[in-house]
Structure 1
Amino acid sequence: MKNILCLLAVLFLYTAASSQNSLTGTITSKTNNEPLIATVYIPQLEKGTVADFDGNYELKNIPDGKYNVVISSLGYATISKKINFSNNEIVPENFQMEESAVEMEEVIVSTPFHKLQSDNVMKVDRISTDDLNSSGAVTLADGIKNIAGVDLITTGTGIGKPVIRGLSSNRVLTYTQGVRLENQQFGDEHGLGVNEAGIESIEVIKGPASLLYGSDALGGVLYLNPERFALSGETHGDLSSTYFSNTLGTSTNLGVKTSGEKLKFLTRGSYSTFSDYKAGTAYRVTNTRFNEKDLKAGVQYAGAKFKSTLRYNYNRSNIGIAEEIGEQTHSKDLQLPFQEIDNHILSFDNTLFFNNSSLDVKAGYLFNDRREFEDDPALAALRLKLNTFNYDVKYNLPELGKFETIVGLQGMFQNNKNEGEEILIPNANTTDIGVLATSHYHLEKVDLQAGIRFDSRKIESEAARNPLDVDFIPALNKTFTSFTAALGAKLDLVENLSARINFASGFRAPNLAELTSNGVHEGTNRYERGNANLTNEQNFQTDISLEYRNEHVEFFANGFYNVVNNYIFISPTNETIDDTQVYDYLQNDATLYGGEFGFHLHPHPLDWLHLESSFETVTGKLNNDVYLPLIPANSIRNTFRVELHDGKIRKFSSAFVTLDNTFDQKNISDFETRTGGYSLLSTGIESSFQLQKIVLKLGINGTNLTDKEYTSHLSRFKPDGIFNIGRSINVNLKLEI
């Protein structure tokens, strides 16, 4: 690592004397040859510009190399073209764009070759946080359940854990600022700990991604893309605030960013506070109140041969722990018991550009300080401190014909320490190391991608408690290893119709809770007993998808079949300790299967009209035909949406009506109960206005408009008969300069 830092310093100084290339040209409409105000962006360099009113553009200071240049404009099909730059040349390139009612495509960052989704071998879903906020989402976690195939295990409105095709917790890996998020995610009552302010978009890989990310990506990846820096020579600021009627909550954030030709800077702060949520007309759920403070900052330097980005995120969450329906109040002051959680995320991302290749070096440091207060607001009964350092080194080899190849080294060192009276998991160190290689082969109508990886994870834990007591936890020293591989293809079958087929294996080493637990877990009200003999979960998944797209309609059908060997699950026993039922961690082979299906109708020339519908289903079983727990119920989502563009003062307006239908969940595990189906209606409208240099955005939306009293199958309040959140009318105001 020391040698790498020295190399980076030398190249940093070298950039001042290095020559660079330029890209220049015009962007016009293919239909009438009129100039377009479009964005020109090179994702790998994070560098872009906007064409002027005459369609002219110029992008300067481009290092030598071959890069994908992405041209995008609202109402037109996105263009992605690979262009080679060398020898301080000015590259002329004119683009003609075709009109399209389809939303602008974005480059997928979570996959290794950074292509548009239409060119990607893996099926990846992407949604912007602006869209999540427009739908009335209270938190970032609350919003992602709008993606087909994604759901949420909830503890009130303040805690949510993503579920991808029936898999959750340590089987779903979250990435933020380009580094893996580690925040004691083994606990059901442990949320993401990331605020949506400063997050530009969310990408979801639904299926094994161990090839790219190692252990814990067995079920999928939630990839949070931080907001981009401003384009060169621009300065922007924005202030937004949202009011939520159900919780009497407010969420406010302020951001500023400015960019020169080589140096860029941004910062954003936010504060949110909520009272207890109201469950229909019945009651407020006592102590589901929470508040959150969040600060994000970033600086980037881009030279001729070198790009470096430093980002920092601090998040403080104070979350009430609901136990029973008690005093009905609008208070936002925390009451016992509650959690107080600090998350610090520091990431350092560097890219070295060579003539025909590049080297990416990422390092991350994360500190999670989780405190739980039960009887004394000044003394934490439970305190877990988690320090994590991770690194990711990837070398993009020179292209060989139509082959693109990446080789990489990834690793992590993690230390977990207890400082409270209660112990859920012992003090421990975890060390990961993984090596990988993956290649992409491009033909005119076929794209192929394949890769292989080896991982090793070592877990060393200390003994905890008195050896003579029943809740003694012995020391542990175990190493888990695995090979994983992936093979996929995208085929253009006929005009407008494409297919993807992917085969991928994944693995997950058992976590500390599964290996070492021995005691009452207050958050789940059960005595959990770990199993030191647990082995890797290993899975193999087949994905098949079809997509059809023309100027009037889009259709997709995704199917998957996932075989998981040595699936780890918790099971009740007939034993009790301290008057609490004992649950053991066991293993058995399991199978999950299902898919997502949908269409999007946007009839031309009525491009402002959109009708969207999607259906998702997943079934999970152990080999003994017992259903897996926490599997989302089948659901259908229908949305009618109108979008209007380009007024003189009103720049954009949209309105939507959505009906979510969730079916009965009858396929339940041994310790679950059936959950009835329900329908939720939501609607919203928003507009943006250009007032000289200020853009004003106004929006109002309503969720659960019928004030339906219902309980989600994935709600942790379900065993207590507590309903989910009722009607909420939400108002948003945003100013951009």
Structure 2
Amino acid sequence: MKQLFTSMLLALAPLYIVAQSTVTGNISDSENGQPLEQVSVYIPQLEKGAVTGTDGSYTLKDLPEGSYKLVVAYLGYETHSTTLEIHSGNNTYNYAMTPSAIEIDEVVLSTPFHKLQRENVMKVEQKSIAELKSEGAITLADGITRVPGVTSVSTGVGIGKPVIRGLSFNRVLVYTQGVRLENQQFGGEHGLGVNDAGISSIEVIKGPASLLYGSDALGGVLYLNPENFELPNQTSGDINLNYFTNTLGYGANAGFKTSGEKLKFLVRGAYSSNVDYETGDGTGVTNSRFKEADIKTGLAYQATKFKTELRYNYNESNLGIPEEIGVQDNGRDPLLPNQEIATHILSSKSNFFFRKSSLEATLGYILNNRKEFEEHHEHEGEEPLEEEEHEEEEGPALDMDLSTFNYNLQFNPQWGSMTTIFGVQGMHQKNENFGEEVLIPNAITNDFGVLATSHVHFNKSDLQFGLRYDLRSINGEESGIVGDEEYIPSLDKNFNSFNAAVGYRADLTDNILFRLNIATGFRAPNLSELTSNGLHSGANRVEIGNQDLDSEQNVQVDLALEYGNQHIEVYANAFYNNVSDYIYLQPTGEFRDDNPIYVFQQQDAKLYGGEFGFHLHPHPLDWLHLESSFDMVFGELEDKTDLPLIPANRWNNTLRVEWNTAKGTKSKSYAFATVQSVFDQNKVATFETPTSGYSLFNMGFGGEINIFNQLVGFKISGNNLFDKTYISHLSRLKTDGIANIGRNIAFNLSIGL
């Protein structure tokens, strides 16, 4: 045993006994040679960074040997990316930055090769949470609708689910803290379930990402990047305050983080509360109120050739489910029906760095408890009880626990200009019922997938390709009594799929970028689609599953062209998506207890459309920005009928101005005005009705001010300033004739500590 122990120590010794490597250098302005202060110099794969001092110098310490991407970024300059070979000892890298009015180009984290957006083979949309806040987003689900090609199926203001190019629900996978979020997201009345506090930015992959993520990424991925740990030997804190006039909503979050040379820690807590929102005509939408509490914390350790981090998030939400216009008050406690949702997310990510390879292991555990409380209906002959007694005696109609363990192991060897990743991913999931009603049965789901993907870099182009194989098994228990209308038989189903992807990007000229991606994706039917048999109170319908459903399989072609110089950017993204065995709900024309019955069916489908736009900042008026974007999607089934829940075409036009703030601030002040035009949606499913178009006018401004030597950031924005009464085609309240939110003024203060 002693010899074995000694052998293990000797085997592990190279990981910890290594020569210390550093990178030092100076960053300057290419036009005048002056040193630049506060420039970010960052190695994404190592998650190591530094900022330049007054003399433009920086130092990155305790680095492993190997080849890594180094990114230099600073507001008002073109972001620079290079591959740096780090040798033992001291390394030097100097760079002169080129001034540019184009916004900072960020590193894409949702794809595995850590490229800048313009270098990435796959087009990925990025938005910082600060941007979403500046545009008046009340919730994260509301904020993502600012991304072209992304909308939301909403139930009031508090409940929203992402829709990417017409695909939603389990066809869009959400990642947070590096792990897939599993929170019983199959239901339309189930919201995103993530608070924006402690999230630094979002990334959106439009189109099948099954190669990287497996089942449920058939339509795309919403990737939430958590806030970074502080730089070594730095400590910081901040307080953020929000207020929304329409919902009388208030919210606050506060964070603290500190880092030494190796150990890092952060924590952030948040709370928000909103009353019922008002439509454009001043009507309060009864029971659209909601409140939320959230805490996120993290601990990290970083050595030269090893780093690991542990993050935890607890989120507690209480959401009213609006059904009709009734009580008109400013109460904050949800009425019946409502949801109480508690979610625990524990994740761990560890990286080992070798001379010509690296290994990453990500583990996640999620426990989601969902309780739904419904109105009590007395049976004939029953004595009505006092309402307080109801609330004390009536338990939740639905009480469900969903526990999920997932893992993702990726090995990354480097062979010359080719970078390859071999991965193993999987998931073990358990669903349990404790309430009076059973909508879906107790069940266990297991996933297992293996993948290989490579990126080859040429002089002015890049090629990426990969292959993946997945297995999914679902075993559900019998529920109810045979012969009863709500009986659910036992379930034993297995699904498997091969998927592939190939993408190519090229610099056709110094200013024109071309991308072509062809990818397949799949989605195994979820537990609800296979087994559900009961009333969805939020949808006011009975949904009946179908155990004969097959997996959805799709092939999507994406074509992108981008032109950019110092003063104008133009882009055109087009896609065609063919989905085999598309699963959808169809009304039967029958009723159960006055509620319509819908069943799950399958049919081939196709979706096509794209996003187009430009961004102009003319010289010498670099402070002036004209932005325009247009997105459209069309979807139809094989029988030539239209798909349900396809968003209407949109056209956004923004005039934005920016100017330098007072000395000592790190950002620019801004003001903007936006006209959002949503067109008529007349291409609707057989059980939907057309929706009229509308236009909304939004304005805002913000920046930083210095108060008693304390920087205070502020944002003020007004959405729907003309108080337009309108109904979104993707609003689940549309069938009840309930309009969307009216005028809302958002105030945000951010105070650094």
Deviation digits for residues 348-390 of structure 1 (CA, Å, limit 9, x no counterpart): 0000111111000000000000001124445211111000000
Deviation digits for residues 63-104 of structure 1 (CA, Å, limit 9, x no counterpart): 1221111100111111111112233x1001111111111001
For the residues of structure 1 that align with 2:643 and 2:171, how far apart are their CA atoms?
14
For the residues of structure 2 that align with 1:473 and 1:581, how far apart are their CA atoms?
19
Q: Does 1:232 align with 2:232?
A: yes
For the residues of structure 2 that align with 1:24 and 1:427, how far apart are their CA atoms?
57
One-letter amino acid of the counterpart of residue 245, structure 1: T
Aligned counterpart for 2:601 among listed residues 581, 586, 594: 586
Q: What are the equivalent positions in structure 2 for 1:650-665 lying under 5 Å apart?
A: 652-665=668-681
Q: What are the equivalent positions in structure 2 for 1:257-276 lying under 5 Å apart?
A: 257-276=257-276
Contact 1:257-1:267 within 8 A present in 2 as well: yes
For the residues of structure 1 that align with 2:460 and 2:304, how far apart are their CA atoms?
35
One-letter amino acid of the counterpart of residue 235, structure 2: T
**Cα distance change, pair 475–118 in 1 and its aligned pair in 2 (3 A):** same
**Cα distance change, pair 7–413 in 1 and its aligned pair in 2 (3 A):** farther
The worse-fitting range, judged by mean Cα deviation, of 388-397 and 726-735 is 726-735
Q: Does 1:717 align with 2:717?
A: no
Displacement, 1:25?
Answer: 0.8
One-letter amino acid of the counterpart of residue 469, structure 2: F
Q: What are the equivalent positions in structure 2 for 1:248-647 lying under 5 Å apart?
A: 248-374=248-374, 375=376, 376-378=390-392, 379-397=395-413, 399-647=414-662
Contact 1:649-1:691 within 8 A present in 2 as well: no
Question: What is the aligned partner in structure 2 of residue 155 from structure 1?
Answer: 155
For the residues of structure 1 that align with 2:366 and 2:338, how far apart are their CA atoms?
23
Q: Secondary structure at the match of 1:551?
A: coil
Q: Secondary structure at the match of 1:279?
A: coil
**Cα distance change, pair 9–229 in 1 and its aligned pair in 2 (3 A):** farther
Displacement, 1:518?
Answer: 1.8
For the residues of structure 2 that align with 1:101 and 1:506, how far apart are their CA atoms?
38
One-letter amino acid of the counterpart of residue 389, structure 1: F
The worse-fitting range, judged by mean Cα deviation, of 524-533 and 242-251 is 524-533
For the residues of structure 2 that align with 1:16 and 1:350, how far apart are their CA atoms?
15
Displacement, 1:248?
Answer: 0.5
For the residues of structure 1 that align with 2:546 and 2:10, how far apart are their CA atoms?
50
Displacement, 1:327?
Answer: 1.4
One-letter amino acid of the counterpart of residue 395, structure 1: F
One-letter amino acid of the counterpart of residue 675, structure 1: T
One-letter amino acid of the counterpart of residue 654, structure 1: Y
Displacement, 1:689?
Answer: 2.3
Displacement, 1:13?
Answer: 8.4
Q: What are the equivalent positions in structure 2 for 1:684-695 lying under 5 Å apart?
A: 684-690=700-706, 694-695=710-711
One-letter amino acid of the counterpart of residue 174, structure 2: T
* Identity across the alignment (%): 55
For the residues of structure 2 that align with 1:693 and 1:260, how far apart are their CA atoms?
26
Contact 2:323-2:736 within 8 A present in 1 as well: no
Displacement, 1:648?
Answer: 1.9
Q: Secondary structure at the match of 2:141?
A: helix
For the residues of structure 1 that align with 2:373 and 2:45, how far apart are their CA atoms?
45
Contact 1:336-1:377 within 8 A present in 2 as well: no
For the residues of structure 2 that align with 1:16 and 1:519, how far apart are their CA atoms?
57
One-letter amino acid of the counterpart of residue 703, structure 2: S
Displacement, 1:330?
Answer: 1.1
For the residues of structure 2 that align with 1:692 and 1:545, how far apart are their CA atoms?
49
> Structure 1 regions of 5+ residues with no counterpart?
1-5
Displacement, 1:186?
Answer: 0.3
**Cα distance change, pair 549–8 in 1 and its aligned pair in 2 (3 A):** farther
Question: What is the aligned partner in structure 2 of residue 39 from structure 1?
Answer: 40
Displacement, 1:112?
Answer: 1.1
Contact 1:11-1:305 within 8 A present in 2 as well: no
For the residues of structure 1 that align with 2:581 and 2:11, how far apart are their CA atoms?
48
**Cα distance change, pair 391–11 in 1 and its aligned pair in 2 (3 A):** farther
Question: What is the aligned partner in structure 2 of residue 683 from structure 1?
Answer: 699
One-letter amino acid of the counterpart of residue 577, structure 2: N
The worse-fitting range, judged by mean Cα deviation, of 55-64 and 9-18 is 9-18
For the residues of structure 1 that align with 2:221 and 2:671, how far apart are their CA atoms?
31
For the residues of structure 2 that align with 1:44 and 1:564, how far apart are their CA atoms?
35
For the residues of structure 2 that align with 1:644 and 1:186, how far apart are their CA atoms?
45
Question: What is the aligned partner in structure 1 of residue 379 from structure 2?
Answer: none
Q: Secondary structure at the match of 1:424?
A: coil
For the residues of structure 2 that align with 1:140 and 1:174, how far apart are their CA atoms?
12
Q: Secondary structure at the match of 2:528?
A: helix
For the residues of structure 1 that align with 2:311 and 2:710, how far apart are their CA atoms?
28
The worse-fitting range, judged by mean Cα deviation, of 10-19 and 634-643 is 10-19
Question: What is the aligned partner in structure 1 of residue 746 from structure 2?
Answer: 730
Displacement, 1:709?
Answer: 0.3
For the residues of structure 1 that align with 2:640 and 2:730, how far apart are their CA atoms?
21
For the residues of structure 1 that align with 2:563 and 2:46, how far apart are their CA atoms?
32
Contact 1:101-1:604 within 8 A present in 2 as well: no
For the residues of structure 1 that align with 2:420 and 2:316, how far apart are their CA atoms?
40
For the residues of structure 1 that align with 2:13 and 2:658, how far apart are their CA atoms?
49
Give TM-score, length-normalised by structure 2.
0.95
For the residues of structure 2 that align with 1:273 and 1:241, how far apart are their CA atoms?
12
Contact 2:699-2:719 within 8 A present in 1 as well: yes
For the residues of structure 2 that align with 1:520 and 1:195, how far apart are their CA atoms?
28
The worse-fitting range, judged by mean Cα deviation, of 333-342 and 126-135 is 333-342
Displacement, 1:649?
Answer: 5.4
Question: What is the aligned partner in structure 2 of residue 109 from structure 1?
Answer: 109
Q: Secondary structure at the match of 2:644?
A: coil
For the residues of structure 1 that align with 2:319 and 2:11, how far apart are their CA atoms?
46
Give TM-score, length-normalised by structure 1.
0.97
Q: Secondary structure at the match of 1:632?
A: coil
Q: Secondary structure at the match of 2:146?
A: coil
Contact 2:661-2:704 within 8 A present in 1 as well: no
Q: Secondary structure at the match of 1:513?
A: helix
Q: What are the equivalent positions in structure 2 for 1:209-220 lying under 5 Å apart?
A: 209-220=209-220
For the residues of structure 1 that align with 2:329 and 2:82, how far apart are their CA atoms?
58
Q: Secondary structure at the match of 1:121?
A: coil
**Cα distance change, pair 162–40 in 1 and its aligned pair in 2 (3 A):** same
Question: What is the aligned partner in structure 2 of residue 140 from structure 1?
Answer: 140
> Structure 2 regions of 5+ residues with no counterpart?
1-5, 377-389
One-letter amino acid of the counterpart of residue 238, structure 1: D
Question: What is the aligned partner in structure 1 of residue 52 from structure 2?
Answer: 51
Q: Secondary structure at the match of 2:530?
A: helix
Displacement, 1:402?
Answer: 1.2
Deviation digits for residues 19-73 of structure 1 (CA, Å, limit 9, x no counterpart): 3210001001111111012111111111111011110111111112211111001
Question: What is the aligned partner in structure 2 of residue 3 from structure 1?
Answer: none
One-letter amino acid of the counterpart of residue 675, structure 2: L
**Cα distance change, pair 101–573 in 1 and its aligned pair in 2 (3 A):** same
Question: What is the aligned partner in structure 1 of residue 203 from structure 2?
Answer: 203
